[in-house]
Amino acid sequence: MQRLQLLKDSFFGLDVVQQQVVIGSAVALAAGGILLYAAQRRNKVKTIPIGEGWWGAGEKTSLSEDKKVYPFTVKTSDEEIKDLHERIDKSRYADPLEESGFQYGFNSTYLKKVVSYWRNGFDWKKQVAMLNKYPHFKTKIEGLDVHFLHVRPPHRADQKVLPLMLVHGWPGSFYEFYKILPLLTQNHSGVAFEVVIPSIPGYGFSEAPHKQGFNSLAASRVFLTLMERLGFSQFYVQGGDWGSLITTNMAQMKPDCVKGLHINFGMPPRGFKVLLSTMIGRYLPFLVGFSKEDVRRLYPYFEKNVWETLRESGYLHIQATKPDTAGCGLNSSPVGLAAYILEKFSTWTDRKNRDLVDGGLERKFSLDDLLTNVMIYWTTGSIVSSMRFYKENLKGDPNKRIDSKTEIFVPTGLAAFPHELMHCPKSWAQLRYRNIHSYSFMPRGGHFAAFEEPQLLADDIIQFVQKVEKL
């Protein structure tokens, strides 16, 4: 009390100017303290629980988890190919509407040409040998046999080797990364990547979950365990489609392990800020942090984004509700499976391909590459389990999940390809990804970036990692 009285007496003993200086200083100190506190809270790295799971058949036992890593080889047989050909030969087709292109889905006139090549020209045994040119492995995690590639760069005494995990999405596979692999394992200014490419459980050669609930959070935990099992305490991650969500979750779970996160699919967030910036961004883009390129890609907003999303998301509603029903037919008919998968490689590469009778498929891809991806689904019978991944992730409002409410603080790079399904401006991405080191407007390409434009994507990953390493 005496100190307080002394302070009061000292203050009132000052003239008016001196009092104003003291008050101003106090206000400045208080404001500075508040800002410092807010900054500390904002920069505090928040994580989401890692959790645990068991997805194997039956009950978990003490002998269920074999932590060894085993070599794996992709195989085929004459019987497998004979069965495929017999099913193809019994396929039925519906005539397309006149001048419909791909507007109604995969045009059956062109589908017959693709299937004819599949039946008479495609060499699956040759493609299997090609798949095996990189080393494959399997290991059991949470009751599932998890398939992955592990590719090391050529040894050089003067280079630094950085671990990098690449994660695919739907309807892709580990094969999407075959063209980018040699670009990443080369030496770049003394740095090369040691690349791990897992198959999401339920996709390709990774065992499908036997229990409900396997979502992106579970996949992230499995992949973190995989990297730990391979001896990596710190590493980079990259993904598109589901891979972007899985790698984001990995960064949220263990930011001390994920040195950097690079994605080529940024999902626009929801909320008042996004709504407001959408309303005024076309007219006053500088007020909401939009660039001229953002404006060009976003507007007219309703026609170009909302309506296009509705047109292209029918598959999502099916797979998020009753995947087993539609999947039953796809798992029995190779031609139906090819039409269902390859139609996405047409439209998601460029929406203008819908106007073409051949869907523009061979503008970016070879039939050998496309059919190899289809064969990975067909020979493993994994289309149904891959579709279930939508059901598991969309059982409730995804915006209420803990990962949607948790910001990402690890260094982040985003490659925005012009023909991606949705455009996410940097100002929107920053609402979740709080530490963006690199945001690149890519000159061409769509949803399947590694498959379409491997050099562009590799260059962007490399420049992002180099920025992070300089820190």
- For the chain, the maximum distance between any two Cα atoms, rounded to a whole number of angstroms, is 102
pTM, rounded to two decimals: 0.89
Which residues, listed in sequence order, are joined to residue 167 by a DSSP beta bridge? 239
Question: Is it the case that residue 11 has pLDDT exceeding 60?
Answer: no
Q: Which stretches within 333-394 are classed as H helix?
A: 334-347, 361-364, 367-380, 383-393
Per-residue pLDDT tens digits for 199-215: 999 999 999 999 999 99
pLDDT value of position 300: 86
- Contact criterion met (CB below 8 Å) for 162 and 133: no
SS3 126: helix
Distances (CA, A) of 200 to 40, 219, 226, 444: 36, 7, 12, 27
Which class would CATH give 69-470? alpha beta
- Per-domain residue ranges for the chain? 2-43, 69-470
Residue 171, preceding bond cis, omega within 30 degrees?
yes
Please count the other Cβ atoms lying within 10 Å of the Cβ belonging to residue 118.
21
Per-residue pLDDT tens digits for 392-429: 999 988 889 999 999 999 999 999 999 999 999 999 99
Per-residue pLDDT tens digits for 215-258: 999 999 999 999 999 999 999 999 999 999 999 999 999 999 99
Catalytically active residues are 241, 390, 447
CA dist 363 and 128 (Å) reads 24
Token digits of residue 403: 């990962």
Which residues, listed in sequence order, are joined to residue 138 by a DSSP beta bridge? 70, 147
CA dist 439 and 131 (Å) reads 33
